[in-house]
Amino acid sequence: MIRMLKNGSGRGLRGVNFKKIFAAASALAAAAIMLCSCASDYVFPRNTVVPEIPEETATPGSEPAASGGTMTVAVLGEGGFNPLRAVSEDLVYASAFFYEPLIRLGPSMVPEGVIASDWSSGDGKIWTLTLNENVLFSDGTPLTSGDVAATVDALKSGGGIYSQCVENVEKCEAPDAGTVVVTLAEPDGCFPWKLFFPVLKASETGSSFPAGTGPFSFVSVNGAGSEAEYGRNAYYHGEKAKIDGIIIRFYRSADEMAVSGCDLITLTGDGAVKYGSILGYDSKSFDGNSLICMVPYVYTGGNVTYRISETESVIQKRTSRETVLNIDMRRAVSALIDRERIIQRTVSGEGKAYDWPGLDNNIFRKKAEIAPASETLMTELLGKCGYFHEGGNTAWYRADDTEKNAPLTFNFIVDASDVELIQTCDSVVSQMKAVGIKANVAAVNGLDFPRGFLSGDYDYAFMRLNMSFCPDLEPVFANGGVLNYNGSDIGGLAATVRGLKRSWRSSGSGAASCESFSASFGEGLAGIYDSLRETLPFEGLYVRRGRMLTSERLFADETAGEEPWNLYANVWNWYLS
């Protein structure tokens, strides 16, 4: 995993994962505090043979059992289940069986207390959390503030998906058993939205199967480490699960999961497309968290140092590429991209096209009608930029380049380990070549991606933007910030951000005010996104799709949510025939 921290403080570009996973999502921080996922476990080369699978889905029986039975769940991983170390989306989803967070995000994305009963802050920097009484771990020991502090410390020194939640935490203290005091490095009115990480027993934060406070508790693991058994947690403080037990089976690929015969399987990316309608399963679709996007390098600020590993830092450079800075040029690139064609040509072919991610109900994403590709508009905009060509796929040149020495060329960088990103890049490049725009692609691995990203030697980077969190606005839109892609009214954006902060401070703190803040925050974001859409901060191409497969033995409770955040909400209250 690679985290990019501005001067080590967590400001600026957050959670850009340029490698295999972050395994939930990637890139910047516009509609998200960003986890990131290149999820190459879920994608395969284009020559992969896709088995023929009947499209029909089985219809469950008419009457579910009253209760009981053991449910089998397929997850991607190997032989251990510690959510603090999780880099797989499957482990994050399935952790709801065994672990609970301080808060959960409700249907309207308002924080709701789980382990925490209250949270408040006078300045957005020091937060006081009050814990619910009588919450016990699965071994019968009481949960205390010390366990919360130990969990936060483990996350800060770890590197799993949830570590992004505590990047801004300076210290976490436990003044008494029921109170946690968190001091942030920078004020953050959105901090309650980040408290959804699982809380583990202090002495077991490094264990492969640590104790939690969820409805099921660990019983045993087989010798090969391929299967773990969980039973009802006798000390669970909530409603007793209808299902007697859970068996987690670990698999190395989506292919293996899909044909495992488990009662519950969650698939994303290529796996969701290939195995979405397996005979004998009911298929529920949901939008994956990962947005494929094209990010222009238009950084014009001063030098900024980023730590890309424990031993290496890289200096971000000011761009000298005037071509990509031009707003009309970026609009021209947007006009030539046929997003539907990209969706159909990439492995996750059931993706959806999106423009600019934002707040939309309970998903941080702004659904927008995507303008169709228009070669006429592209030609008009390139002409405004001073370029001409002779029609067809002949090269474009500036009017003053009478010798035709410098054809219009764009440079791209892409993570070589992510097949889906590469295929998206291929599709964009082929569309450019068809209209005479040349393209150079650098496919790089590992730390070469952040090195390249910060070098400024390319025009566009292909990345993933995860949409699982509430946005941190200041690092995104701060003057000179990494994501200052608006190219226009920085002062107006800064004023809007300050207004959002004031709305939070004036609304007070705690659970009641979060609802008020959420509403005003959403309205403010809508204004920002509307102002930025014209200036193309980046090109959102499409969102991966996911599917939850349930066997004919499993009957969903009506209250179980299907949105990405609550995919496993109340699954333990489903029924087995």
Closest CA to 439 of 448, 429, 431, 447: 429
Residue 337, in any domain of the structure = no
Q: What is the pLDDT of residue 487?
A: 41
Each residue's pLDDT tens digit, 444-459: 988 888 888 888 888 8
Q: What is the spatial distance between Cα 414 and Cα 406, in angstroms, rounded to a whole number?
A: 24
To 10 degrees, what angle do helices 375-384 and 327-336 make?
160
Higher pLDDT, 212 or 542: 212
What is the pLDDT, as a whole number, of residue 107?
58
Give the pLDDT of residue 340.
85
Using the structure block, give the residue that is written with the tokens 């406070």. 213
- Tell me the per-residue pLDDT of 388-420, one tens digit each, with 9 for 90 and over: 998 888 999 999 999 999 999 999 999 888 888
Average pLDDT over residues 364-378: 70
Q: What is the pLDDT of residue 307?
A: 72
Residue 565 lies in a domain: no
Residue-wise pLDDT for 125-161, tens only, equals 899 999 999 899 999 999 999 999 999 999 998 777 7
38 vs 435, higher pLDDT: 435
* Whole-angstrom distance, CA of residue 133 vs CA of residue 114: 11
Q: Which structural domain range is residue 171 located in? A: 99-213
Buried b (16+ CB within 10 A) or exposed e, 476-490: bbbeebbbbbbbeee
Strand partners, 268: 546
Whether 174 is covered by a domain: the verdict is yes
Angle at 255 between CA 253 and CA 259, to 5 degrees: 125
Task: Return d(Cα 92, Cα 104) in angstroms, integer.
Answer: 13
How far is residue 27's CA from residue 45's CA, in Å, rounded to a whole number? Answer: 23
| Domain CATH for 195 | 3.90.76.10
Question: Domain end: 213, 233, 266, which one?
Answer: 213
Between helix 511-533 and helix 490-506 the angle, nearest 10°, is 170
Report whether pLDDT(531) > 90.
no
Contact 511, 111 (CB under 8 A): yes
β-sheet bridge partners, residue 130 = 118, 179
Last-in-domain residue among 178, 213, 248: 213
- Whether residue 517 is contained in a domain is answered as yes
pLDDT of residue 19: 24
Count: domains in the chain: 2
Report the percentage of the chain scoring pLDDT > 70: 68
DSSP 320: -
In a domain, 276, yes or no: no
Q: Distance between CA atoms of 209 and 204, rounded to whole angstroms?
A: 8
Look at residue 268 and tell me if it is in a domain. no
| Mean of pLDDT values over 542-568 | 70
Does residue 8 belong to any structural domain of this protein? no
**Residue 55 within any structural domain of the chain:** no
CA distance readout (Å), 183 to 41, 122, 123, 453, 511 = 37, 12, 11, 32, 19
What pLDDT, on the 0 to 100 scale, is given for residue 17? 27
H or E stretch covering 247: strand 245-251
Query: Among residues 111, 289, 125, which one has the least CA distance to residue 195?
Result: 111
